[in-house]
Each structure stands twice: as structure tokens, then as C-alpha cells.
Amino acid sequence: MRNVPTLLRRELGAYFASILGYIVLMFFLIVMGVTFAVVVEYLNRGPTQLTAMKIMFQMFWLPSLVVIPMITMRLFAEEKRAGTVEMLMTAPVTEAEVVTAKWLGAFVLYTLMWGLTGFYVLILQKFSGGAALDLGPILAGYVGVLLIGQFLIAIGLLTSSLTKNQVAAALMSFAATFLLLIVVNWLGFIFQGGVAGEIVRSISAFEHMEDFSRGLVDVRPLVLYISGTALVLFVTMRIVESRKWR
């Protein structure tokens, strides 16, 4: 894994050497900024049980659906299209290093994006009229957003390794994200109670975010997403290797 820092630096550089990184960042900030403005306006209308950041965290799926396919689509697809994968894989690096660095690069960018929403926390603090914000749920919310994000990034990386076509990679990862977030959430309305309902609840990202944004960090989603990522990255590694046995 000693080549990971070198590869990671290249991956991060690639986002900002092209216009892509800026577009994604701009898109994210516009969506989140508008959401924040709406949330603040809504909370100003009268007393409610909700807090601003809780609503923000529950909107996590909106940028995820678009932003994650955008930052993962090129990772392998572009290397395959341009042929640079041959340069990369004939250098003394392993598949595991390359997959890890690419996943980490997208995750760092994603973390950076969400990190910028920290300004909203500062703004809320400034205008909270002296009352201290409850930081626990906010931190837990960030844990949730990053946890779910890193898993969806792994899936985006997997779809990117399947094709040379960035658009196809983005569509596949969009479809997968849509299924995992939105469709599972809908299933929650159909299966209420019983074993099926229990299963749907335990894999529903919306349910997880509900918990996290209340300040509840449960071990089960941690295990679910981290082991999910490990599995998806492993499969990705085998796909990158598959040029060797196909």
C-alpha cells in the first residue's frame, strides 16, 4: 500500500486539473446552499421539533444521487478509454493500491464538499442568539453522511471499472444509488412490520440517517457500510484484474 499516497495525489490533482472538480463542487454548494436557505426560512416561521442541521442531513440523498456518479464515473472508465490503464498497471503497483487510491481520492473530495457545509453550522451558531448548538447530533450526522457516502463511492468505482464509457458508468452508478436509497425507502412503506419490514428498515439509508441526525451512532450501520465497501472494493479489484483471465 506504499504507492497509495502517490496515486492519491494524482487522483486529487485530476479533479482540479480539469473542470470537473469545480463543476461538482459548484453544483453541490448551490443545492446545499438553496436547501439551507429554505430550511432557515422554514424554521423562522414558527417553533418546531426539527433542527436546521437535522433537515440538512436528511437531504443527503439529493446531492448523493448526482454528485457521487459525477465524481466516480471517470475513475476507471477514463483510464480505459485513454489507454492510460496500461501505463498505470505496468508500473510496479498492485491492483489493490490503485483501487484504494481511487476510492480514497473520491472520498476525500466528497468529505471536502461536506466539510464546506460546516459553514452552515458556524452561521447557525452566530445567529442562535447566544444559545449553544447541540454538537453531538451534528457530528453524528456528519459520520452518517460520510459513512453512506464512502459506500456509494465504492459502488460508483465498481461501475466505472465495468466500462470505458463514462456516461454508462455514471448511469449505472446513478441507478444503483437510486435503488439503494430511494427504492429501499419506498419498500419501507410497503413492508411495515414483520421480518420483511425489519430487513428493509435495517438496510434503509434513510432510517440510518434518521438515527445519525438525532445523534445516535449505532454499530450496525457502521458494520453494514464498512463491510459493504470492503466487499465492493474487493469485487472492483477483481474486475480490474480480470483483463488477466478473460
Partner 1 sequence: MDSMIKVEGLTKRYAGVTALHDVSFTVKRGEIVGFLGPNGAGKSTTMRILTGFIPASAGRVEVAGMDVFEDSLAVRRHIGYMPENNPLYEDMRVIEYLRFRARLKDVRRAERKERIDDCMEMTGITDVRRRVIGQLSKGYRQRVGLADALLSDPDLLILDEPTIGLDPVQIRQVRQLIKDLGKRHTILISTHILPEVEMTCNRVLIIHRGKILASDAPENLMKTLSAGAPVVVEVRAPVDAATVVVQALPGVVSVTAEAGSDGFVRLVAHASGEADVREAIYRAVVAERWDLRELSRGRTSLEDVFVQVTRDEDEAEEDRRDQRQRLR
23 binds partner 1 (CB under 8 A): no
**Alpha helices, H only, 73-165:** 74-82, 84-89, 95-116, 118-126, 135-160
Q: How far is the CB of 223 from partner 1 (least distance, A)?
A: 33
Q: How far is the CB of 17 from partner 1 (least distance, A)?
A: 4
75 binds partner 1 (CB under 8 A): no
Between helix 219-241 and helix 95-116 the angle, nearest 10°, is: 140
66 binds partner 1 (CB under 8 A): no
128 binds partner 1 (CB under 8 A): no
Cell numbers describing residue 97 = 493500491
242 binds partner 1 (CB under 8 A): no
The burial class, CB within 10 Å (0-12 / 13-18 / 19+), for 83 is exposed
Cα 160 to Cα 233: distance, rounded to the nearest angstrom: 12
96 binds partner 1 (CB under 8 A): no
Nearest residue (CB) to partner 1, 7 versus 121: 7
Among 9, 37, 115, 230, binds partner 1 (CB under 8 A): 9
Cα 47 to Cα 232: distance, rounded to the nearest angstrom: 44
Cα 45 to Cα 220: distance, rounded to the nearest angstrom: 37
CB under 8 Å to 186, separation ≥6 — which residues? none
Q: How far is the CB of 19 from partner 1 (least distance, A)?
A: 10
Site string for partner 1, 169-198 (x = CB under 8 A): ------------------------------
Q: Of the listed pieces 6-14, 102-110, 148-156, 159-167, which binds partner 1 according to CB under 8 A?
A: 6-14
238 binds partner 1 (CB under 8 A): no
153 binds partner 1 (CB under 8 A): no
Q: Which of 104, 108, 204, 113 is nearest to 154 (CA)?
A: 104
Asked whether 71 and 24 are in contact (CB, 8 A), the reply is: yes
Helix (H, G, I), strand (E, B), or coil: what is residue 177?
A: helix
Among 1, 37, 86, 135, binds partner 1 (CB under 8 A): 86
Q: Of the listed pieces 46-54, 78-86, 124-132, 192-200, which binds partner 1 according to CB under 8 A?
A: 78-86
Binding site for partner 1 (CB under 8 A): 3, 6-7, 9-10, 13-14, 17-18, 82-84, 86-87, 89-94, 243-246
